[in-house]
Structure 1
């Protein structure tokens, strides 16, 4: 087994905001599932069995991309906060964290 030497490059570090699917609307979840299968979107939208992964760093303006595709204000706000905090991705999972101060939906 090799030991790491020196500092890791910034591109190798991966910072992520993780939250519950309760923070997004049902329509957002449905659209994420559909778009994750579309060829031009596969590089930044991923559907997983337990949730969704949005690679914010794969787009120059990810919040505007989400708005252009019709996602809710709540999902865009999560993406905005993640970007502002320096996160490279947003993971929205069934067992994710309930974040205080963010809207939740019971679906």
Structure 2
């Protein structure tokens, strides 16, 4: 298991245990973390699972594929350095302690 820390826009913190092989989006959804809508169910066809990866973790994640970066353009206030779609981040034990910050809203 890996602990993933979600921080809402208002500062509320959610720590969840995520099973390796799931995505960060699935971990949020399965644990009732507000702010991850996941309208497309993880198909990388929307941007409603957008989050900002904590800067300390950005270089520890695989680089996003072009399909993800294209979808991030539709997210609310994307940040080129830290924005990711959580449906595209696979949980591994190496991500234990990952911190993601949730945007004010999803669009």
TM over 0.5: no
In our comparison, the structure showing a higher alpha carbon Rg is: 1
Q: Identify, as 1 or 2, the structure richer in helix.
A: 1
Q: Identify, as 1 or 2, the structure richer in strand.
A: 2
Q: TM-score, normalised by structure 2?
A: 0.30
Q: TM-score, normalised by structure 1?
A: 0.30
